[in-house]
Structure 1
Amino acid sequence: MSYTAIVDYGVGNLKSVSNALTYVGLDNRITGDPKELERANSILLPGVGAFPDAARKLRQTGLDQAILRMGQDKPVLGICLGMQLLFAQGEEGEACSGLGVIPGTVQRMETSYKLPHIGWNSLSFPNPSPLFRGLSEGAWVYFVHSFSGRAANPSQVIATTDYGMEVVAAVQNGNFFGTQFHPEKSGDVGLEILKNFGAMNP
């Protein structure tokens, strides 16, 4: 059976992500079992909270290595903190290694605007990606965050937004994708993004 494994490592609203995938017709399972991740056709890595705590939980459970193995030939999507964990390092509270898929760091946003950044913002697409197939420049999505990724390789940035500074809104490296915003909370645009992700399943 084809399904998307939603990684359960103790952070994030897993049910809202699961409901959104189900709504667009993607079978899914919430699991913290690395072996079940290996059997899945794709992985979704959600998350809210602090980078160091989340990174430690992934390492302690072996989920980090399962995710990295999966991404060699199957699509992986990180959402919010899940996207940040794709970066090489986070600087929230303490310097901490991430999964290292996206060279760069996750830092507190340097903006005169109020933090956390909560609400709807429009996207620009500096580099093409199948994740955003069919979407128009200026599509609106929903954000909740105070930290953002600084990608070392601009070609891996597939969406940006403006919040008193240019914010990396989405990244891609091979089969690994990440969105700083929440597709499951972004209405029809978000559902289209999840459909595009599902269409990549091998």
Structure 2
Amino acid sequence: MYVSIVDYGTGNLNSVSKALEVAAEQISKKINIKISNKPKDILDSDKIILPGQGSYRQCALGVKNINGLWDSLNEFVLVKKKPIFGICVGMQLFSEQGYEEQVTEGFGWIKGSVKKIEINNKDLKLPHMGWNEVNVLKKNDLFLDIKNLSHFYFVHSFAFKAKDEEDVICITDYEKPVVAGILKENIFGTQFHPEKSQSNGIKLLSNFLNWNLL
């Protein structure tokens, strides 16, 4: 299996790569992991991971500034219909637009937008940072053998507002429900960082490597 981690100048690329290696070992699966931003590498992959750190606008422009990368990701997801895993801002880019810094166009694969988390409780701060429970709403293979309400690691101030609740696979609570994961056909993403979430994160990555859409 050939898995590409998309390099567009942001995200914990090496951490994601190392976590993927551990995940592959745990399921005795031989995978070729490549960190790349070359359109050919993306299109030749069996699965891809789109990480993301920083602002929505910074990440969107990072992808667009690499010749052919935006189009190759669209082809991979919409035409080839192969699995993608977006992490943090990588998942947020699945939306139609983000409102961080200024309104910025996303891929539009999932209807919705990304807006700043609204909190009234003065004891809660932004960014929402640290471990939090994740409530899985839809039965699926990606959270197979992960106990519901397990803890995962978050770092974010903006959250996905999905237009269709069916696209939300899991939520977390930060004064109010916040989207923690998105799933639509071959498109999967989490607001939390699996590569920072210890054994639960490794298991999730293993499940992604095993994920069969057929």
TM-score (norm 2): 0.90
How far apart are 1:122 and its partner, in Å?
Answer: 0.5
Q: Deviations over 1:84-104 (max 9, x none)?
A: 011111000101110111100
State the match for 1:63 in structure 2: 69
State the match for 1:29 in structure 2: 34
3-state DSSP of counterpart to 1:131: coil
Q: Deviations over 1:75-122 (max 9, x none)?
A: 000000101011111000101110111100100000132001110001
Q: Do the aligned partners of residues 91 and 16 (structure 1) sit closer, same or farther apart at CA in structure 2, a change above 3 Å counting? A: same
Output the CA distance in 2 between the equivalents of 1:70 and 1:134.
Answer: 28
Output the CA distance in 2 between the equivalents of 1:91 and 1:38.
Answer: 29
Q: What is the RMSD computed on CA atoms of the aligned residues?
A: 1.3
Output the CA distance in 1 between the equivalents of 2:139 and 2:118.
Answer: 27
Output the CA distance in 1 between the equivalents of 2:136 and 2:156.
Answer: 20
Amino acid at match of 2:108: G
Which consecutive unaligned segments of at least 5 residues does structure 1 have?
Answer: none
Range moving further from structure 2, 90-99 or 121-130: 121-130
State the match for 1:161 in structure 2: 172
Output the CA distance in 2 between the equivalents of 1:130 and 1:59.
Answer: 32
State the match for 1:185 in structure 2: 196
Aligned residues: 201
State the match for 2:12 in structure 1: 13
Q: Decide whether the 8 Å contact of 1:21 with 1:27 is kept in 2.
A: no
Q: Decide whether the 8 Å contact of 1:74 with 1:201 is kept in 2.
A: no
Range moving further from structure 2, 182-191 or 54-63: 54-63
Q: Deviations over 1:128-168 (max 9, x none)?
A: 23211122211110000000000000001001000112110
Matched, 1:131 2:142: yes
**Percent identity over the alignment?**
41
3-state DSSP of counterpart to 2:115: strand
How far apart are 1:13 and its partner, in Å?
Answer: 1.5
State the match for 1:122 in structure 2: 133
Highest CA radius of gyration, 1 or 2? Answer: 2
TM-score (norm 1): 0.95
Q: Decide whether the 8 Å contact of 1:41 with 1:201 is kept in 2.
A: no
State the match for 1:82 in structure 2: 90
3-state DSSP of counterpart to 2:204: helix
Which consecutive unaligned segments of at least 5 residues does structure 2 have?
Answer: 25-30
How far apart are 1:201 and its partner, in Å?
Answer: 5.9
Output the CA distance in 2 between the equivalents of 1:64 and 1:178.
Answer: 17
Output the CA distance in 2 between the equivalents of 1:119 and 1:53.
Answer: 23
State the match for 1:104 in structure 2: 112
3-state DSSP of counterpart to 2:35: strand
